A = this chain, B = another copy of it.
């Protein structure tokens, strides 16, 4: 019995073909896709699956801790199958999210004032700016008004 099955059982979730499909699709994704994106991806092989189910499933997975909902800037909600400690760079232009790791950053210690006030379940350094593809076009896109 694999990790996924085990976790579902432990949390009292039924193992359905839809859930397996969503899990597989997200696991194999190198991006940080939205529900809509995963739904589109599944359509060819699983035409009957509904967007609502994909969305609910992803949120359920996030709640039980198989995946994460990640920070965006008003985008549709996006998900991350990578549950190792890592950090994100968010491109303000194309809205892609890039992962990175760094041993020094693992040392980041959360101040006591914070742990006293809140129960912390997630910790991430969030960088934003322009990715390599976008930064050359930045001058233009950042120019005009309103």
- A44: min CB distance to chain B, Å: 25
Partner of A123, one of B60, B72, B127, B142: B127
Residue of chain B at shortest CB distance from A124: B126
What DSSP secondary structure best describes chain A's contact surface? Answer: mixed
Number of interface residues of A (CB under 8 A): 53
A129 and B122 contacting across the interface, CB-CB below 8 Å: yes
How far is B144's CA from A27's CA once the two chains are assembled, in angstroms?
Answer: 24
**15 A-B contacts, Cβ less than 8 Å apart?**
A13-B145, A57-B146, A71-B126, A74-B77, A91-B118, A100-B111, A100-B113, A104-B111, A118-B127, A118-B135, A120-B129, A121-B130, A122-B127, A122-B128, A124-B127
Chain A residues engaging chain B, CB cutoff 8 angstroms? 11-13, 56-57, 60, 63, 69-78, 89-92, 98, 100, 102, 104-105, 108-111, 113-114, 117-132, 135, 138, 142, 145-146
